[in-house]
A and B are shown apart, each in its own frame.
Chain A
Amino acid sequence: MIEATGLRKSFRVGRGRGATTVEAVRGVDFAVRRGEIVGFLGPNGAGKSTTLRMLATLIRPSGGAATIAGVDLLRAPAQVRRRIGFVAQASGTYDDSTARRDLVLQARMHGLSKSVAQELAAGAIRAFQLDDFADRKIKTYSGGQRRRLDVALGVIHSPQVMFLDEPTAGLDPPSRVRMWQEVRRLREEGMTIFLTTHYLDEADSLCDRVSIIDAGRIVAEGTPSALKREISGDVVAVDFAAADVADETGGDLPAATKLLAEAPYVHAAEPVDGTLRLYDDSAATAIPQVMRALYDRGIEPGAIEARRPSLDDVFLAKTGRSLAE
């Protein structure tokens, strides 16, 4: 449904001699099949929005090509617009308008007649449960209500392909779960969905496949479980930042990292925010050995926790940094 090859975007910033170029997207390739939910997972500034804005015909790629629903993005952007829906990272609604008015306008901008537009708006209000506030001014909506309206606006014309830029950014956990349900419902209605997120759990539980993007490049791609399988074994997280040990042993993190990175039962040791992540074959055998090694050095760790690898561990392995703030 979506196929992108070598998609690239650089921005010129500044004027005259002071001008520099920002390489926002440095050539990404990906494909999304019909009926899939595929996510771009990446930190701030990775190039997620820029990629989506290129695919949604808002900005022209500096290079590369893409086809969306069988239409060439560069040759026939007008045809692409008929087939896609787009929800931007920041919502694009009039503060003084109402959900119903904006929904009708949106449908009419897609070329539909007034009566059809009104029917579609009423249907969207029901489907996205906007009834309670559909005729109130949009500036009075909560973040979650506004975001549901944004998505309702994007899908009013039942597009084949839907682009969602951070659909749940800034929402509280219940609203996020609710938004996930909406997204799954859209897929059941036959839409292909391409979204961006910087939430690990969102990529993990909502997306069929994930592309991890960093600094304008895709660094890993696959189903969440396949990506996590690449990190074989278990993760043992040793906490050095816990309040009760921070004063005396908080400074032990570098020493512990050095010590355990060389241990034969550890594949890799990565310090992340006061926690040491150890990648090993089996937590059950590694934990006693880790404990012993640390005590031998007189290092007293805080909590030790064993867990399965997460997408953050994948990100860490690929980029040397953690996604979690």
Chain B
Amino acid sequence: MGNTVEVSNVSKSFNGQFVVRDISFDIAKGEVFGLIGPNGAGKTTIIRMLLDILRPDSGGLSILGSGLTDDIKDRIGYLPEERGLYQRLTVMDTLAYLGALKNKQSKRRTLELLETMGMLSHKDKKISELSKGMAQKIQLIAAISHDPEFIILDEPFSGLDPVNMKLVNDLILELGKRGKTILISTHMMDQVERMCDRIFMIHKGNGVLYGSVGEIKSRFGKNTILLEFDGELKDIKGVKKINHSGNYAELLLESGADTQDVLKTIASKVRVSKFELSAPSLNEIFIQVVEEA
């Protein structure tokens, strides 16, 4: 089978302003695909166009084959960015209703998912009695309880604590292993780096990066030093930027700088316990792309 999603030359403007401009990408079947970009870049707009919630001004989109019929919608799961549920319904009623709309209700699977997400004991509570993060987990369950082939998750991690973030993370990986095609839009670059096979980055409506994570990183070259150290690290010749995090740091080299010289300089200033030459993190690439644009 071909691609699950095909987007070709899609443009969309609101009030005469381009929000998405001439964008093309594909998502292969079984792929975990990251759609990234700064706030207001147009990610949610692309997702809404994929689901025919918004219509593109020009260009073509296809999901799971041709037109987006009800049958095809039944094979898609969607966690929208705008979170909301019926406040007066119970968790089970909510999931039953949203499941019924997908024509593929499985109470057993719903209960299993509630169990994995640690929500089983809350199943008879009203939505209004849940915390924001809990409601979000319910929405995630609603998006996948009909066992869809293609899952779209718009910022699935926002507002979750680290434990729940891991739960969601594991769930996505599990779905990926089972051959589901997954589109994730998120600002968590380390998650993208770990989970996604390929990514598409959009900035101000324009596509700026597209490809597998490894390939994109190698495109940026091994120009980064990962350092674990003791002491104070600053003003190092040949380094254009230092991203500190405690005793760790990510050092961006100037082009043409000799890593051996840099290492010597560093060693003279601080105690080095680990030194690694590496490609920049996706986070760093993201920031670079946005700053350079």
Q: Do A and B bind each other?
A: no
Chain A residues in contact with chain B, CB under 8 A? none
Chain B residues in contact with chain A, CB under 8 A? none
